[in-house]
């Protein structure tokens, strides 16, 4: 996948590695841990920053590592 950018949001601060030169933005503490319809605060912040609603969602409540499209 070619990343246009990475938006970081959650209860605690997060870090990203392996995103190449994709810009990273901390967008605050709006978060969802499950793909549910009621993620309005996070969707609203994504819409404000990008002009688009969340199209796909992957998340977890706990974890030390999260991989998107990797091995």
> What average pLDDT does the chain have?
80
Contacts of 46 (CB under 8 A, 6+ apart): 7, 27, 52, 53, 54
Q: Where are the beta strands (DSSP E) in 1-71?
A: 6-8, 24-26
Look up tokens 């605690």; give the residue. Answer: 12
Give the model's confidence band at 41: pLDDT under 50 very low, under 70 low, under 90 confident, else very high. confident
Report, in angstroms and rounded to the nearest whole number, the Rg of the chain calculated over CA atoms: 12
Q: What percent of the chain has pLDDT over 90?
A: 10
What was the pLDDT predicted at 14?
A: 80
Distance CA 59, CA 10 (A): 10
Give the model's confidence band at 62: pLDDT under 50 very low, under 70 low, under 90 confident, else very high. confident
pTM of the model: 0.70
């Amino acid at each position: 996948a070619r990343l246009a950018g990475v938006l970081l949001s959650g209860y605690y601060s997060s870090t990203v590695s392996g995103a190449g030169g994709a810009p990273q933005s901390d967008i605050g503490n709006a978060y969802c841990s499950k793909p549910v319809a009621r993620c309005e605060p996070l969707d609203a912040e994504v819409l404000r920053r990008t002009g688009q609603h969340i199209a796909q969602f992957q998340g977890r409540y706990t974890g030390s590592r999260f991989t998107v499209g990797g091995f």
